[in-house]
Amino acid sequence: MNKRKPIVAGNWKMHNTTVETHNLIKQIITKGKNLGENCEVIIAPPFTSIACAIEAVGGNYIQVAAQDLFWEDKGAFTGQISGPMIKEIGCSHVIIGHSERRQYFGETDESVNKKIDAAIRNNLIPIFCLGETLAEREADRTFEVMKRQLTMGLGSLVIPNALNFIVAYEPVWAIGTGKTASPEQAQEAHAFLRKELAVFRGEDFANKTRILYGGSVKPDNAKDLMECADIDGGLIGGASLKAEDFIGIIEQGTGI
Ligand code: PEP
């Protein structure tokens, strides 16, 4: 039986000024009172809104993530933000390897590996994103691509505790497109990732790791997706920007 505690994380991308951040968090807290009881709830605002988000959360059940970090802890790297900075401001998690970073900002399996290392070194929980493009799926390369991203992203890194490590399977063709993977497609990918994790990291590690699904999750498809045996929650983009939708996904997906 799946005893992993579900996680629903909202990736706000480049949305929400500090004022908008404050208002959205207050709406979520007011309208969604018991959401944190059976589920870990995370939001990832842009860097400039993180301090405001942490203040608005005010010790409530919502945890705050950064959307990226740089792999060095400090130095002459104009424009970058480091693990110690993210930790100090109060983040618990950091998203790494999102497909938009891979697609638009030159993120590679190698840089993802260095960033996961930096997260772990700084006691931040990485939300390690991977997934195939439409062309890769159509060329029947889905599993080969996922395996490469997983094994190169992890490399030989020591991850002391599987509970402090999260994988997000996000088929690129489903992100922001309104096309969701069917529960069968998503479950097949998640089961594959868990099997591969078991090969590289052992059964116990694989069984404890939360694997989230991301790609056009909405309140009306969350239940069917999150009911699948190997799907432990969702990484939500567009629908995390509206309090009712984000709350609806948590309620539908976790049966609260
Ligand atoms: C994402 O950006 O991680 C994502 C899943 O976006 P959306 O929910 O909008 O498809």
What domain range is 172 assigned to? 7-254
pTM as predicted: 0.97
In the chain, pLDDT over 90 holds for what percent of residues?
A: 92
In a domain, 1, yes or no: no
Catalytic residue among 40, 100, 132, 170: 170
The 10s digit of each residue's pLDDT in 35-44 is 888 899 999 9
Angle at 30 between CA 25 and CA 32, to 5 degrees: 90
Alpha helices (runs of H) in 155-210, residue ranges in sequence order: 183-201, 203-208
In a domain, 11, yes or no: yes
Mark whether 15 is an active-site residue: no
The 10s digit of each residue's pLDDT in 113-164 is 999 999 999 999 999 999 999 999 999 999 999 999 999 999 999 999 999 9
pLDDT beyond 90 at 251: yes
- 54 Cα to the center of ligand 1, angstroms: 22
User: In Å, what is the CA distance from 250 to each residue of 32, 129, 240?
Assistant: 9, 20, 10
CATH of the domain at 222: 3.20.20.70
Mark whether 22 is an active-site residue: no
State the pLDDT at residue 2. 59
- 221 Cα to the center of ligand 1, angstroms: 14
**Tokens found for residue 59:** 């010790």
pLDDT beyond 90 at 256: no
Measured N-to-C along each axis, helices 18-31 and 50-57 cross at an angle, to the nearest 10 degrees, of 30
Q: How many domains does the chain have?
A: 1
The 10s digit of each residue's pLDDT in 31-69 is 988 888 889 999 999 999 999 999 999 988 999 999 999
